[in-house]
Structure 1
Amino acid sequence: MGNIEFPSKEWAEIFCQKINENNNYRNAAKGWKWPLMFKVSSLSNELLKKFPSGSIGIKLDLFEGQCRGVEFYEDSSKGSADFVLTATFDSWMKILNGELNPVTAILQGKLKLEKGSMATVMRFPSAAVELVKSAQAASK
């Protein structure tokens, strides 16, 4: 991991930027028109000192393969989106480190779709993989 810590506002902004630099995502996400929020729960003790709510939200305004903006919530209950994906901090780290594929994570229940249509999400498996690649790029 680089100097930018996940999860943080800075990381979220770089993530949005990396999505916009990812042409494979742009092509794979044609037809996706909904904001998406990632929730991070079960924070480490270190992170709990910074984020006492215990659950962080990163909301991306995703539209037709672009990230039009990002919001970072120190308390995920303050934010909402059409699609909400939630996972523990450890699961997110495994996804970011490339140890866990996002589609596998959903099938194993490690990544939960808290809100939104699973059928819609499953129409965009390659977009999900490209989003993870952009997240990995933000973490370097």
Structure 2
Amino acid sequence: MSKMFTEEWFHSFCEMINGDKRYNSNGKGWLWDVDFVIRGDENSNAIKPGLNVRARLKLRDGRCEGVELVKREMERRDGYVIEGKASTWEGVIEGRMTIINAILKGDLSVTGNMRKLTEYILAANDLVRIARMVK
């Protein structure tokens, strides 16, 4: 089992995305990177306070073409950034809260074209479902 939010975890996530027929279908037409910014906090089991992880998933047309972990903030280009505390991300992935509730409460922030994102809400839900299965 890989530790949550490590490079190994994100690579497993990418592989599982590619093997998921539902996401492969619901993600058709999606052509933007998604940056996951995870800030360590005192309530996290995965990332200590003061540490941050930024992972860019290269999502294209229902597939994950790769993952890039970066040490510094990268230019967003035309993609999306979803940012929040590690304990919030853990709550979403472990099923204690939904990603929609976390966003509405302001625990996760999303940067990018929200209108376009809503067109792919099924694919977004698939990504959360797949993340819950990463071992």
TM range (shorter): 0.7 to 0.9
Runs (4+) of structure 1 exceeding 6 A deviation are none
Q: Is 2:92 the counterpart of 1:92?
A: no
Q: 1:30: which partner in 2?
A: 28
- Answer whether contact 1:36 1:84 (CA < 8 A) is retained: yes
Q: Which has the higher helix share?
A: 1
Distance in 1 separating the partners of 2:7 and 2:130: 16
Distance in 2 separating the partners of 1:118 and 1:11: 27
- Answer whether contact 1:103 1:128 (CA < 8 A) is retained: no
Cα distance, 1:76 vs. partner?
4.6
Distance in 1 separating the partners of 2:75 and 2:4: 20
- Answer whether contact 2:39 2:47 (CA < 8 A) is retained: no
**TM-score, length of structure 2 as denominator length:** 0.86
Cα distance, 1:108 vs. partner?
2.1
- Answer whether contact 1:96 1:135 (CA < 8 A) is retained: yes
95, 101, 106: which one aligns with 1:104 = 101
- Answer whether contact 2:47 2:86 (CA < 8 A) is retained: no
**Residue 122 of structure 2: SS of its match in structure 1?**
helix
**TM-score, length of structure 1 as denominator length:** 0.84
Q: 2:62: which partner in 1?
A: 65
Distance 1:106 1:47, change over 3 A: closer
Cα distance, 1:85 vs. partner?
0.5
Distance in 1 separating the partners of 2:47 and 2:109: 21
Cα distance, 1:107 vs. partner?
2.0
- The count of residues paired between Structure 1 and Structure 2 equals 131
- Answer whether contact 2:36 2:56 (CA < 8 A) is retained: yes
**Residue 5 of structure 1: SS of its match in structure 2?**
coil
Gaps of 5+ in 2: none
RMSD over equivalenced CA pairs, Å: 1.9
